[in-house]
Structure 1
Amino acid sequence: VWNHETADKLYCEEIDVGEETGPRQIASGLRGHYTLEEMQDKKVLVICNMKSQKLQGFESFGMVLAAKGEDKVELVSPPDNAPIGERVFVTGLTGEPISMPQVKKRKVFEKVAKALKTIDGGVATFDGKPVETTAGPCKAPTLVGAPIS
């Protein structure tokens, strides 16, 4: 993790998402909410099936998910013992992730984001159902009823 050269709100990150090609380069607007030390080696949820985009000249190949409360932002993290690169799931939903071109064409993330929020215990949910790994639910530590994006 390092500070973006020209954007005061952006961090530039290399995040291991379990791919053979190595870590993904991702930019996130979390600089005003976390220190470099807090971000370093933090397990986070990353949306990977998005088209890359340049943020202030830095090409980002995904998006780090965070819950946004009235006065703070918290990273959405898997349990500490969740395997790196594991695809999260929502109980009752099946299927494979859609491709990057379809995500953009159908504006899928915009629709999905409306259904992402935290509940009691900071548990991340989609349509009221927990977003989970095999090790348990993903959480934003203290935020309840907060939208996730």
Structure 2
Amino acid sequence: KKEKKEKKPKAPAAAPAAEDAPPVTKLDMRVGKILKAWKHEDSEKLWCEEIDIGEDKPRLIASGLRQFYADEADLTGRKVLVLANLKARNLGGFKSEGMVLCASNDAHDVVKFVEVPAEAEPGERVTFEGMEGPPATPAQVQKKKVLETVLPDLVTGDAGVCTYKGSPF
């Protein structure tokens, strides 16, 4: 007769992200600087950008902004806000490793970069007043539809300054 092996106690599960933290805290918004921009060779809508967000190497990001920014000079050297914890996606065959945050009017015929605080440096994480928490992993952002939850409450004024539910950066 075989003896039953005593079950080992399970290791405690990793602590879940604070569920009471506002969902915007789960997005990793980083200040970036566009080092280089070029027109996507197969898409009339996409810019391809090399953006410094304070990592070992620049991120490659594709943005559908060609109808709003006509020239590389409109992008190169500019500080932008990058969503850094999104899963990489192929856009027109170009692997995009994030998203540049922009604001648009209701008709979506005016689109502008979200203004970054002047003193902010590439790699700095941008948070909203009174709202802090660790960012989620790219898989969690996608699974929990964090971006879709947050976007309706991200608003910019005429100056391009972003607020979340009325709280500024």
Give the TM-score taking structure 2 as reference length: 0.73
Alignment-derived partner of residue 112 in structure 1 = 150
Corresponding residue to 1:124 among 132, 140, 162: 162
CA separation in 2, counterparts of 1:120 and 1:73? Answer: 12
Can you give the 5+ residue segments of structure 1 that lack an aligned partner in the other structure?
Answer: 133-149
Report whether the alignment pairs 1:19 with 2:19: no
Identity between Structure 1 and Structure 2 (%): 48
Deviations 1:68-121 (A, max 9, x none): 124311101313321111000111112111111100111110111111111353
SS of the residue corresponding to residue 79 of structure 2 reads coil
CA separation in 2, counterparts of 1:11 and 1:119? Answer: 25
Task: Write the mapping of 1:33-52 to structure 2, written as runs, cut at 5 A.
Answer: 33-34=68-69, 35-52=71-88
CA separation in 2, counterparts of 1:105 and 1:99? Answer: 10
Deviations 1:23-71 (A, max 9, x none): 0000001111112111111100000000000001000000001111243
Flag the structure with larger Rg: 2
Number of residues paired by the alignment? 130
Q: What root-mean-square deviation, in Å, do the aligned CA atoms of Structure 1 and Structure 2 show?
A: 1.2
SS of the residue corresponding to residue 112 of structure 1 reads helix
Alignment-derived partner of residue 45 in structure 2 = 9
Runs of 4+ in 1 over 3 A off after TM superposition: none
CA separation in 1, counterparts of 2:167 and 2:141? Answer: 22
CA separation in 1, counterparts of 2:61 and 2:160? Answer: 24
CA separation in 1, counterparts of 2:102 and 2:129? Answer: 21
SS of the residue corresponding to residue 74 of structure 1 reads strand
**Using CA pairs below 8 Å that are at least 6 residues apart, which structure has the higher relative contact order?**
2
